[in-house]
Structure 1
Amino acid sequence: MTNFLLKLFATLVIGIVAAFIYLFKIILNYSSEEIKPYIIFLLIIFIMAAPLFVYYTRSTIFLGILSLFHKIVRKINKHSDK
């Protein structure tokens, strides 16, 4: 059972890191040159804090936040395709 939980935890960490990377990639495409270093710095902080975030929050809160990011990314993608 613990092996399953370890795999689940690793999948959640990879998922949140991928969501943040994708969101920041979209933000970097639409931002000016002056704020790009700050956005990259925030991206590094989020990647480092993702395992703690997943560990200290339970899966329902995490999945709700991840689905919110997914909706935001989908809306941004719809606007960028036009």
Structure 2
Amino acid sequence: MFYHRYVREGAYVPWAKRFGEACEVPDFHTADKRYLTEIVDSLGSRLKPVKALALSGIGVVVFGAALILMIRRRQKLISTSKS
């Protein structure tokens, strides 16, 4: 886009006469937050294709942990009732 404009209008363009003279004051506090949100958003978009698989894996792990805890608890109850 900029290249085509450069080829069409040449090196000098009328809008460049006062370029950089009327800039807003930078808001570094907001820019710092934006940096973090951009990282989180890009990570989320990269993980989106495997989101269902990851959630399924987490579900299996949680279910397995709960099952192991239930089995241990039952075995503990059986061994204490025999005593």
**TM-score band, normalised by shorter chain:** 0.3 to 0.5
Which has more radius of gyration? 2
Normalized per residue, which structure has more helix?
1
The TM-score normalised by the length of structure 1 is 0.37
Higher relative contact order (CA closer than 8 Å, sequence separation 6+) = 1
TM-score by length of 2: 0.36
